[in-house]
Structure 1
Amino acid sequence: MALKRPLSQHAQIIFRAGVESVCGDRLIRDTVQFGPTEIWFAEHCVDRQAIDRIILVGAGKASGAMAVGMIERYQADAASAGLIQFAGHLNVPQGCERIPEHLSWPDDLTLFAARPAGVNEPTSLAIEGTDRILHWVSEATPRDLVVVLISGGGSALLVRPADGLTLADQLQVVRQLSGGGADITQLNTVRKHLSAVKGGRLAAACRHAPMISLVLSDVLGDPLDLIASGPTVADHSTPHDALEILNRFDPERSISSAVYECLNQAEQQMLAPEAMSNVTNLVIGNNAVAVDAAGIAAESLGYNHVMQSARRSEGTAEEVGRHLADMTVEMLRRDPSRHHQDALITGGEPVVRLIETSRRGKGGRNQQLVLAAYERLLELDTSEPIDFDRLVILSGGTDGEDGPTDAAGAWIDGEVHRRARHLSLNAADFLRRNDAYSFFEQAGGLLMTGPTGTNVCDIRISLVDRLN
């Protein structure tokens, strides 16, 4: 018997509430304030009289929305703030370069589509845009204030290969590490030492102007040197660290020899800390903020809720999904006289180990996670029947992108379960082929949001209703 309460709709409402709480434009409007004598960036104050122009630069899935929020905030405060010129350049994914019609946009400020939607890899356009960013930063004067807008996805959008390397070399490294299940710490540690802009090198290029970096974190624990590969932060890792990671994930040395040569020579090129003495870095949003907002939405819908945002790497999507299924069934089998509606809301970012390209299907970590949760639910259903109509498990990327797909993630509920059974879809087979998208495309349950203007890892929502 179908439930009166649409659990999958509730899960999507809760997910959207979490995402909206960390949208780039909203966070900037809440963080920045322009006044006649001061400009406030959170609790950091800048003397308004000391600057004539703000140079906005940056990269990431949310950086375009952050730039929109900056101009909206300035125009709202303009009566008291006086005239400030804005200029600069930001690299954003395709679809995130649109400027709202209500804004009077500065002529010298560019939102540049530096990669296609759904393709989270460096491109030649990203290199072109990065060179423009480096130009703006290096030419800034003492009467300029450089404001860097950084968010997740910045590593693929802020790209300038180190001397001796090509875009093809960097793509080979990223694909080798990602396909092998490297986490974001490992991936970005290597990226920093193969770049002319990451690992603090963007800040080092700003020789004459003060710089403020506003960061929307997509790395668990908010380590500033890893978010977007730390373009404005002193790097505490070494080329030797990067080499050790490559040795683990490339034991047969299939990656270009130029990459290894670059790392072997890089020990003499480490940046001195004083090269970044003019920089202030501020984290303005993260996964914990989104999870908290999702919890508030769950409570408003009548759910007794528990929330948790991971602070470190979680392991594989399959492991996280199976654990989430166990927790969901545990909630389902509790005494209904205490709480008949329960919610478990978690945040994090697991990894997926990819099989060889010839056998690989289509999907992303959130879809893989939910499919692994469904496989576990089917196993548990054999020992004691599960009423799939009384639960939903949803997982989605807050950026609206899950792997190279047009979905943010997926969910499993009674309707999806019945369609999968009707179509005789084998969850384990789709999991083995990294083909979760195809499973949910047929059974239903794909979470479609489009670009969201933010990126703070993933939100997972498990809901149960034991009475209706």
Structure 2
Amino acid sequence: MNQTELLRAMFAAGVAAAQPALCVPPHLPPPPKGRTIVIGAGKAAAAMARAVEDRWPGPLSGLVITRYGHGVPCDRITVREASHPVPDAAGQAATAELWALCADLTADDLVICLISGGGSALLVDPAPGMTLAEKQAVNAALLASGADIGQMNTVRRHLSGVKGGRLAAHCHPARIVTLAISDVPGDDPAVIASGPTVGDATTCGDAQAILDRYGITAPHLFESIKPDDPRLAGASYHLISSPLIALQAAAAVAQMQGIPCHILGDAIEGESRDVARTLGAIATSVSANSVPFSAPCILLSGGETTVTLRGKGRGGRNVEFLLALAIALNGHGKIHALAGDTDGIDGIEDIAGATIGPDTLTHMQGLGLDPRAQLDANNAHAVFEALGTQVITGPTLTNVNDLRAILIEA
């Protein structure tokens, strides 16, 4: 296979390694004496629910919320679809329905909570004194601010009646078992979907400091459930897939082709264009000086970069990374790259990402596209659409964040 085919095969392997049908069944708890209720939220929630249904030995019921277009048919678990990344009324109504299912539980009952990336926007219950419109405005401002996912979800935990441990507290005294697919750097349970079933050590003061830093106003902050709350004593949390697992699966594909892979990290953060310059410099050093690795090789990384919106183009952190990387490499003849979001959606576009090669800048110029002007306009999706190098998967029904692969030829 050629360079682009190899990079695409690696991305596909990373996505496949995080599929719920593979990672959910080994972590299912034994059936309880009482009822089994399945709840959850995230881009993978419906596929996770299907995996539970396929393996569960007894009766169950429940409801999960996923992004529009990410639904999977289930027989006993209701699937609702709602908006991501900005919440909507459908998400609010579905959250109220989910909340009602968890009322009047007993110590003999079991709640299986299925959490994946996107749950923060899909679980919608504005804090007391806050309207949905106000919550939407704060969420949109955070997305445009350049705040990282940890900062955004700290704020979200203090703007919600369901996140920050509140869902687990509501399920008390039932036993609650959370199965989570991580999409965040560091795999912190309090950050994945804003931690609806885990205690939160941050405070309203921490959330307010983040809002102040980015010049965002919120009408009201709501204190979260703390880790020592007795209502959380019966809760357990299991991370069933993560960015590192996807990177390792991608690396295995390259190694089967005889190409060494080096995983630089699964939790890389920062502005997309800044990360691109750094990784571009490392790739150039490998090619020119065999430092810190020798070519041929592939540099792999995961995590979640950010984009501070300055222009009005069609952004996306992975394609912005690639456009900035192409500019930094300046037509280097031996470097190719792919970057994509494992959920199949980069930003708000139903496009996972794209690829670049030595001829990317030349092709752009042939189309009359100024690379730096397009980057300044945050218009990378339009650039790669014009080049015909987009990676389009459709909804992958999982989410372990971004996968970046840079191939340096000998």
Asked if Structure 1 and Structure 2 have the same fold, meaning a TM-score greater than 0.5 normalized by the shorter chain, the answer is: yes
2:8 pairs, out of 6, 12, 33, with 12
**Correspondence for 2:408:** 464
Question: Structure 1 residue 187: deviation in Å?
Answer: 0.6
Question: Structure 1 CA distance, aligned partners of 2:289 and 2:5?
Answer: 23
Q: TM-score, normalised to structure 2's length? A: 0.94
2:56 is the alignment partner of 1:56: no
Question: Structure 1 residue 341: deviation in Å?
Answer: 2.9
Question: Structure 2 CA distance, aligned partners of 1:340 and 1:218?
Answer: 30
Tell me the percent identity: 35
Quick check: 1:398–1:459 contact (8 Å CA) kept in 2? yes
Quick check: 2:166–2:225 contact (8 Å CA) kept in 1? no
Q: Deviations over 1:168-217 (max 9, x none)?
A: 11111112222110111111111111110000000111123111011111
2:79 is the alignment partner of 1:111: yes
Return the index of the structure with the highest Cα Rg. Answer: 1
Alignment of 1:262-301 (within 5 A): 262-263=220-221, 266=222, 273-301=229-257
2:302 is the alignment partner of 1:347: yes
1:421/1:126 CA distance change after superposition, 3 Å: same
Question: Structure 1 CA distance, aligned partners of 2:407 and 2:380?
Answer: 21
Quick check: 1:368–1:436 contact (8 Å CA) kept in 2? yes
**Correspondence for 2:312:** 360
1:180 pairs, out of 145, 148, 153, with 145
**Correspondence for 1:407:** 351
Alignment of 1:365-444 (within 5 A): 365-378=317-330, 386-387=332-333, 390-414=334-358, 416-444=360-388
Question: Structure 1 residue 391: deviation in Å?
Answer: 2.5
Question: Structure 1 CA distance, aligned partners of 2:325 and 2:387?
Answer: 15
Question: Structure 1 residue 415: deviation in Å?
Answer: 5.0
1:95 pairs, out of 69, 73, 85, with 69
Quick check: 2:105–2:171 contact (8 Å CA) kept in 1? yes
- Give structure 1 regions of 4+ aligned residues with deviation exceeding 4 angstroms: 269-272
1:55/1:233 CA distance change after superposition, 3 Å: same
2:48 is the alignment partner of 1:66: yes
Q: Secondary structure at the match of 2:60?
A: strand
Question: Structure 1 residue 150: deviation in Å?
Answer: 0.3
- The amino acid that maps onto 2:78 is T
Instruction: Give the alignment's Cα RMSD to 1 decimal.
Output: 2.0
Gapped runs of 5+ residues in structure 1? 33-38, 40-45, 79-83, 100-104
**Correspondence for 2:175:** 210
Quick check: 2:148–2:269 contact (8 Å CA) kept in 1? no
- The amino acid that maps onto 1:11 is L
Quick check: 2:27–2:238 contact (8 Å CA) kept in 1? no
1:154 pairs, out of 113, 119, 125, with 119
Alignment of 1:117-156 (within 5 A): 119-156=84-121
Q: Secondary structure at the match of 1:220?
A: coil
Quick check: 2:296–2:408 contact (8 Å CA) kept in 1? yes
Question: Structure 1 residue 13: deviation in Å?
Answer: 0.2
- The amino acid that maps onto 1:419 is H
Quick check: 2:287–2:294 contact (8 Å CA) kept in 1? no
Question: Structure 2 CA distance, aligned partners of 1:96 and 1:314?
Answer: 26
Question: Structure 2 CA distance, aligned partners of 1:73 and 1:98?
Answer: 16
- The amino acid that maps onto 1:372 is A
Q: Deviations over 1:72-122 (max 9, x none)?
A: 223xxx4xxxxx1110000001222122xxxxx434x1111122xxx4211
Q: Secondary structure at the match of 1:205?
A: helix
Q: TM-score, normalised to structure 1's length? A: 0.83
Count of matched residue positions in the alignment of Structure 1 and Structure 2: 408
1:270/1:52 CA distance change after superposition, 3 Å: closer
2:260 pairs, out of 300, 304, 325, with 304
Q: Secondary structure at the match of 2:82?
A: strand
